[in-house]
Amino acid sequence: MNRVYNFSAGPSMLPVPVLQKAQADLLDYHGSGMSVMEMSHRSKWFDEIIQNTEAGIRKVLNVPDNYKIGFFQGGATQQFAMVPLNFMTTGTADYLVTGNFSKKAAEEAAKFGTARIAASSKDKNFTYIPDVKAIEYDPNASYIHICQNNTIFGTTYKDVPQVDGIPLVADMSSMIFSEPTDVSKYGCIYFGVQKNVAPAGMAIAIIRDDLLGKSAKDIPAEKIPTMMNYTTLLDKDSMYNTPPCWCIYMTGLVMDYLQNEVGGLEEMAKINHAKAKVLYDYLDGQDFYNNPVQPEYRSMMNVTFTSPNPDMDKKFCAAATEAGFVNLKGHRLVGGMRASIYNAMPAQGVNDLVDFMEKFRKENA
């Protein structure tokens, strides 16, 4: 067996001890005589799994008691519609457009009301984050929506908008659990799990309970499709229908891993900062590769860079794959390369990548 260093933006690497635990449980989960993939979601085993997973998220992320946690299908993209359907009570919301996913979220919200673009960083091809304190927010906005880490462009927020009386909604798909988060700053946090948590197939939302039980202006709550109504789904503990059982189980294993093997999110953040520093320090110390992002907004999770030209980028990706560093090709919107260095990417993977980059530079500069 030969595991590669997988720099994919998602689905992405999972911690080896988690994969091994899943493998050990596979044929006979805790004496049930079956795998988690095969068991009823109404069984006592699964009941324990979903409760432990939720408790694990609460513990790891320090989620206050007045927040509910839900497990949903449809990915983060479905949350782009669920957020306005459930929360756009005034018929308008403020969207900060800092990349492709926040743009998509705003476009989806515009189907249900006014998605006002309160700020955008499109003028500089999304290489920075607008100053959140300088933005004029609409006092009538139902919520302010941000994408906290821009997976494609490799940028992240340092400060998040905080406006009295207007809840902040954040897509944290590509940075959740990478560092401690003060959940109390948000009305709703949501994320697809396939970047930093679990296999693909699920989104998780963490919602302050006073936001529940409502709906978009002009859309009565009973007209929201059942599977898109947070309140209905949360009232049934995410088991209105068959939930994504395997993803919930894997999320639980990752929470155990973060608590017991990493030692919590403070520790995880130290490891992630160190990994990102190795890569950015290298990029800053030479001029063959270029990272276009304004340094204060650099993402700790997704590091974008280009070589001198697109043909060289291609050559780089091919040589990297050959050497066991896979999925480094940048998103088609930006080109170049992108190293996604999520929680499960070992420090050694980043160190070895930098050695490879330097070797390639020497051979091709």
Ligand X SMILES: *Cc1c(COP(=O)(O)O)cnc(C)c1O
What does the binding site for ligand X look like in residue numbers (CB under 6 A)?
10, 75-77, 101, 147, 151, 171, 173-174, 192, 195
Return the number of the residue (74 or 324) whose C-beta is nearest ligand X: 74
Return the number of the residue (101 or 288) whose C-beta is nearest ligand X: 101
The nearest distance, CB 153 to ligand X, in angstroms, is 10
Return the number of the residue (75 or 180) whose C-beta is nearest ligand X: 75
Return the number of the residue (39 or 204) whose C-beta is nearest ligand X: 204
Q: Is 313 within 8 Å of 338 (Cβ atoms)?
A: no
CA dist., res. 129 & res. 3, Å (int): 36
The nearest distance, CB 306 to ligand X, in angstroms, is 20
The nearest distance, CB 128 to ligand X, in angstroms, is 17
Q: Is 286 within 8 Å of 361 (Cβ atoms)?
A: yes
- Residue 144: which of 183, 100, 88, 184 has the closest Cα? 88
The nearest distance, CB 292 to ligand X, in angstroms, is 19
Query: Which residue's C-beta sits nearest to ligand X?
Result: 75
Tokens linked to 7: 């720099």
Q: Is 259 within 8 Å of 56 (Cβ atoms)?
A: yes
Q: Report the phi/psi class of residue 91: left, alpha or beta, with left for phi > 0 and alpha for psi in -120 to 50.
A: left
CA dist., res. 282 & res. 303, Å (int): 12
Return the number of the residue (78 or 259) whose C-beta is nearest ligand X: 78
The nearest distance, CB 300 to ligand X, in angstroms, is 14
CA dist., res. 46 & res. 39, Å (int): 7
Tokens linked to 14: 């999972």
CA dist., res. 71 & res. 62, Å (int): 18
Return the number of the residue (186 or 288) whose C-beta is nearest ligand X: 186
Q: How many CA atoms are closer than 13 Å to the CA of 195, on its beta-carbon side?
A: 26
The nearest distance, CB 87 to ligand X, in angstroms, is 17
Among all chains, which residue has been given the structure tokens 């302010």? 144
Return the number of the residue (195 or 329) whose C-beta is nearest ligand X: 195
The nearest distance, CB 195 to ligand X, in angstroms, is 6
CA dist., res. 339 & res. 329, Å (int): 8
- Residue 289: which of 308, 264, 310 has the closest Cα? 308
